[in-house]
Structure 1
Amino acid sequence: KTKPPILIDRYHFKADREGYLGGLREHLWVFDLETRKGEAITSGLYNERSPVWSPDGKRIAFVSNRAPDPDRSGDTNIYVVEARAGAEVLPVTTFAGPDEGRPAWSPDGQWIAYLQGDEPRLHAYNLNKLAVSPAAGGPARVLTPSLDRAVENPLWSADGRSLFFIVEDDRASYVGRVPASGGNVDKLTGGRRVVSSLSLGSDGKAVLLQSTAVEIPEVHALENGEFRRLSRQNEAWLSEVELASTEDFTSKSKDGTVVNSLVVKPAGFKPGQKYPLLLIIHGGPNGQDEHSFSFDQQLFAAQGYVVLAVNYRGSSGRGSAYQKAIYADWCNKEVVDLVGAVDEAIRIGVADPERLGLGGWSYGGILTDATIAVDPRFKAGVSGAGASLQLTMYGTDQYILQYEQELGVPWKGLEPWIRVSSAFLHADRIKTPTLFMCGEKDFNVPIAGSEQMYQALRSRGIDTQLVVYPGQYHGIMMPSYVRDRLERRLAWYGKYLMPGGQPAQ
């Protein structure tokens, strides 16, 4: 049967996986277990998400953007509604920016904890703070105003006197606690590890996932600041493999910026020996490389590479100013930081300057393109789901609100768009053989971004390939394609960086 035409009349009209956005919205429903019937309790041109029942089971707190045109606004807020059809939706927060996260009710149902972001124009670089507000609405109180680190996963203590949460902090994370009335933040865990999925029982006992660079996330109990392991899902496999070591790594960029990263060294690493280096660039950019288990990093190190994972400016974990430093200036300071980290790896004798490779996915792919356009030293590159001619992304990807808030519309000012399209416009400088990869149906960073860079290098006679994964979106999910992507990356790097194009093991 022939599908009907798609009518589009929205400002934000497409999203990865969802496709073209029509008039459908996500609303809250309540399902009665006895009658086996459901009824909608919200309606309108809004989406509702992250619903949480109140302690007495009568109300639901949720997150929604209820601006006159939600497509043109990043102003989400917390709302409460009684769990019945026709009930009035009551606003809890009024901050002119994102109030989000999974709302957390206090045990007595009088307060709601949530995450407060930054002003709307900076929504792509949010550093979330912990805040509480009366459940009936009223002045909000930010509990981590001076922390300068992003928080997540807020939970109330059983007595309602304090809140627990996770803090993202310079390549690691920890569990924090603060009085509900405000005060100093207590750091309850430490070490070079990552914690997530914190949960508290009614008896106050805490469990969470804990991971290190050599430990896949497992469930642990948290007892007086110590971890007690409860699950051993991956223990058998880990006992059969020899893993690479991961260390903190610091460099200074040419403009004096201190940049913190990770260096992953192969098992049996020999000091004084120079190794082929892979600069693997994380996406986001609002994210960080951290001391948690990375299969990709371990796989590359197992082939004999030293892996460098750089938290360039724009990354999280280093405070608000650091992650907002690239606002409206993409692919500039980030590249300076990436190149500076590689220079440091060469200087200390870890990296062989004649065997440098790089790669990344999403914003990591974008930065791969930008880096090879200014630094010809890299002998092999793999750019996944990237783009370089950003002007052509206007109206073709899902970031229209960020583009117009950050760069402005191109017909009123072309210069910012030309500046962030520099990699493509200087493709004549690229010497690095590069493999481009993308999902066929990617609406996050559409395939055109990879196609354009592939075409530019092919036109110039630079060794290049383009791999398209049929039916895949921004994240490659089909198991056979996941394996294929790993194998192709290993083969491409091996061809240019290993003696005789040594095949991957």
Structure 2
Amino acid sequence: MRGLAAILLASAALPAHATHPFGPDDLARMAAVSDPQVDPKGEWVAYSVETTDVEADKRFTHLWMTSWDGARTVQLTGRKAESESSPRFSPDGHWIAFISGRGDEHDDDQLWLMDRAGGEGRKLPGIEGSVEDIAWSPDAKTIALIVKDPDPNEKANAAAEAGTAAAPAAGTPQKPEAKPAAVASVKKDGKPPKPIVIDRFQFKEDITGYLGRQRHRLWLYDLATQTMRRATTGDYDEYLPAWSPDGRSIAFSSKRLPDPDRSYDFNLFTVSVGGAPAEPHQLTTYAGADNDPEWGSHPAWSPDGRSIAYLQGGPVELFSYGVRHLAVIPAAGGTPHVVTAALDRNVNDPVWSADSRSLRFSVEDDETSRIAEVSAAGGPVKPVVGGFRLIHAPGGGPKGRMAVLLSTPSSPDEVYALEGTSLRELSHANDGWLREVALGTVTRTVLRSRDGTEVHGFLILPPGVSSASKLPTILVNHGGPQSQFDAGFEERWQLFAGHGYIVVATNPRGSTGRGQDYAKALYADWGGPAVPDALSAVDDAVAKGIADPNRLGVAGWSYGAMLTNYVIASDTRFKAAASGAGISNILAGYGTDQYIRDYEMEMGKPWEHMDVWLRNSYPFYHNDRIVTPTLFMAGDKDFNVPLLNSEQMYQALKSRGIDTQLIIYPGEYHGFTRPSFLKDRAERWLAWFDRYLKS
């Protein structure tokens, strides 16, 4: 009763401007701001804003633009039930190119062009396949495209309808919007589906589905003739195009290997764009990943055209556990120079100075992200702007101007102007609802794990609570594991805090932001050091009288769900758990999810190293240790951590009579997108924890 009274008192003491604590309905009110781009004159910044259409039960993305002084904001696109992304100014400043799937019968994203002065955009003709990335040539006459090959089954069906014979290609991937092959019996045109033929080492990928022989290829689109041509030879995936300042070459990332599926070896290439498709020139030879497209960081040419900055991954055997560095290589080829070798932190998004002498970039640091600077010749990494906040995704412009995204524990990402070392907010997509909602207070914590390791984390108090007395408490675990909780806005923390719960969270070993050794401590031991590290936050909150030791819960998604399962298989204190899209029988992941390369690198083949696989699977094979009522959730189309993993844990607990539920969300992948499901998931989390922690 004392805990409940404290919650009610806290609600009565909400800030005067707030109308309610953060709740499930607020998920649909949040706007996701991304991809800031500075125009060639440094006078405007374009960006994307994703919002929710509750009636349509979908999220849509539109393009906006704000003047550098912040005085004017213009919505560039806004067609109902359509989305646009990737705004890119032409070098002459006249046009904005963007990507949209508006009205495409095959649901392919296409290249669009609009006058930046105003008017409706127009789709450019002659492109077969789905446009994934775009980059303007310096003379504004050509646009480099990364285009995913069209679905060969669709081409075969079209040819058949036209009365011509066309054999379907092997390994046809499933369209994201289609039903899984196992249940699709009749296509929407009334014809039976084609068999899916698999012959690749890695044959599954979340959202994409089953992987066939379709590639992501580098094309050149001529704006005058409205025609496109291949830039390269060979049958490989190509990503992240970046033009040389003279417009004669394009740098890009690719794995041009006999079997790319078996390797992490992305390398940087350049290709001449003067005529027919050309054989690319390989610049880097590092055996690990150079400019892995998952990092989302394009190679950057120096303004004088002599050098290219890019990201070099960590040791091959550590893959995502390794720290990636900023490297510079001569554009003509030669030995790369790692300019952040002494910085034991991940970096991203290099931007050159106008004189080609230095680079600015984002640094993932301990629970934060900041902007730093280094000489192109190497030397000390100098701070530019930081603090307890998340500053990332820098987009460079003239006059030393840069646009970044900035988030804090009390505000989602917005676009900021960075001039020198001064920041100024440009976008205000979330101002309205933030004025109405009361948020929990987020503070940083420094903890000690069982073996004495220093662990960093967060404590979140409900709105209006300045000090708590044994309130119900939820331990929230992050995904990855190679990621971190940081100083950005975390809606799960605010959801639980807004409902009267104390929230504790840690960055246990395996997390990024504190160097390579800290991250790799979890290598092949997923339920090892992370468990006592996570529990240190609970122990601390209980010891301080903040958390009620008799009303503890734990929750997580993806690896956060795995850690949740490890925790409840190791500690019986928790009265309720919520485990979303996790895996506990790691053996079940082999061949059924998208991580085959990582599995064999980190844990070896199961038949050769069964002890390692079983050690990492103890929540399933020793589920008799679990006494915590647990809510399992997953999407039925998740190829990242497939549904069967949640089904197995649900079945095991159900078999033993432990109170459990399994909630399956039709049509959802690993990351949910349907707004009604996002709200439903939040409501079920709260109801489950209320049932066991507040009754």
TM-score in terms of structure 1 length: 0.97
Instruction: Say if 2:239 is the partner of 1:52.
Output: no
Matching residue of 1:109: 305
SS at match of 2:415: strand
Distance in 2 (CA, whole Å) between partners of 1:219 and 1:23 is: 39
The AA in structure 2 aligned to 1:436 is F
Match of 2:471 among 244, 257, 275: 275
Alignment of 1:73-472 (within 5 A): 73-83=263-273, 84-100=275-291, 101-472=297-668
Percent sequence identity over aligned pairs: 52
Distance in 2 (CA, whole Å) between partners of 1:117 and 1:31 is: 31
Note the C-alpha offset of 1:88: 2.2
SS at match of 1:323: helix
Distance in 2 (CA, whole Å) between partners of 1:434 and 1:484 is: 17
Note the C-alpha offset of 1:124: 2.3
Contact 1:221 1:230 in 2 (8 A): yes
Give the gaps of 5 or more residues in structure 2: 1-190, 292-296
Give the gaps of 5 or more residues in structure 1: 501-505
Note the C-alpha offset of 1:272: 5.0
SS at match of 1:471: coil
SS at match of 1:202: coil
Cα deviation, 1:30-88, whole Å, max 9, x if unaligned, reads: 11111111112234342111111221222111111122210110010111112243212
Distance in 2 (CA, whole Å) between partners of 1:161 and 1:228 is: 26
Cα deviation, 1:193-226, whole Å, max 9, x if unaligned, reads: 0011212212111221111101222111223423
Distance in 2 (CA, whole Å) between partners of 1:293 and 1:413 is: 40
Note the C-alpha offset of 1:307: 1.1
SS at match of 1:273: coil
Cα deviation, 1:211-242, whole Å, max 9, x if unaligned, reads: 11012221112234232122222112111122
Matching residue of 1:30: 220
SS at match of 1:342: helix
Contact 1:73 1:120 in 2 (8 A): no
The AA in structure 1 aligned to 2:271 is V
Distance in 1 (CA, whole Å) between partners of 2:244 and 2:271 is: 10
Match of 1:3 among 193, 197, 209: 193
The AA in structure 2 aligned to 1:192 is F
Distance in 2 (CA, whole Å) between partners of 1:377 and 1:61 is: 54
Worse overlay, 233-242 or 126-135: 233-242
Instruction: Say if 2:183 is the partner of 1:17.
Output: no
Note the C-alpha offset of 1:18: 1.1
Distance in 1 (CA, whole Å) between partners of 2:230 and 2:276 is: 6
Contact 1:370 1:423 in 2 (8 A): yes
Distance in 2 (CA, whole Å) between partners of 1:421 and 1:431 is: 17
SS at match of 2:268: strand
The AA in structure 1 aligned to 2:582 is G
Matching residue of 1:503: none
Distance in 1 (CA, whole Å) between partners of 2:246 and 2:197 is: 44
Distance in 1 (CA, whole Å) between partners of 2:447 and 2:536 is: 7
Note the C-alpha offset of 1:118: 1.3
Q: Which has the higher contact order (CA 8 A, sep 6+)?
A: 2
Contact 1:195 1:210 in 2 (8 A): yes
Cα deviation, 1:278-313, whole Å, max 9, x if unaligned, reads: 111110111110111112211111111111121000
Distance in 1 (CA, whole Å) between partners of 2:544 and 2:310 is: 45
Contact 1:195 1:208 in 2 (8 A): yes
SS at match of 1:81: strand
Worse overlay, 44-53 or 390-399: 44-53
Distance in 2 (CA, whole Å) between partners of 1:312 and 1:105 is: 37
Note the C-alpha offset of 1:464: 0.6
Matching residue of 1:71: 261
Match of 2:689 among 489, 493, 499: 493
Contact 1:121 1:402 in 2 (8 A): no
Contact 2:554 2:576 in 1 (8 A): yes
The AA in structure 2 aligned to 1:92 is L
Distance in 1 (CA, whole Å) between partners of 2:670 and 2:500 is: 29
Cα deviation, 1:430-460, whole Å, max 9, x if unaligned, reads: 1111110001011111111100000001101
Contact 2:632 2:660 in 1 (8 A): yes
Contact 2:233 2:278 in 1 (8 A): no
Distance in 2 (CA, whole Å) between partners of 1:270 and 1:199 is: 39
Distance in 2 (CA, whole Å) between partners of 1:82 and 1:362 is: 42
Cα deviation, 1:390-440, whole Å, max 9, x if unaligned, reads: 011111111111111111111122110110111101111111111100010
SS at match of 1:188: strand
Distance in 1 (CA, whole Å) between partners of 2:259 and 2:502 is: 49
Note the C-alpha offset of 1:136: 1.6
Distance in 2 (CA, whole Å) between partners of 1:70 and 1:12 is: 9
SS at match of 2:400: coil
Distance in 1 (CA, whole Å) between partners of 2:405 and 2:422 is: 13
Distance in 2 (CA, whole Å) between partners of 1:218 and 1:23 is: 39
TM-score in terms of structure 2 length: 0.71
Cα deviation, 1:131-162, whole Å, max 9, x if unaligned, reads: 01111211000001111111111110111110
Distance in 2 (CA, whole Å) between partners of 1:435 and 1:140 is: 50
The AA in structure 2 aligned to 1:95 is Y
Matching residue of 2:166: none
Note the C-alpha offset of 1:243: 1.3
Larger radius of gyration: 2
Distance in 2 (CA, whole Å) between partners of 1:402 and 1:166 is: 26
Note the C-alpha offset of 1:104: 0.6
Distance in 2 (CA, whole Å) between partners of 1:34 and 1:227 is: 40
Note the C-alpha offset of 1:317: 0.5
Cα deviation, 1:330-364, whole Å, max 9, x if unaligned, reads: 11111121112211111112111111111111111
Distance in 1 (CA, whole Å) between partners of 2:661 and 2:578 is: 10
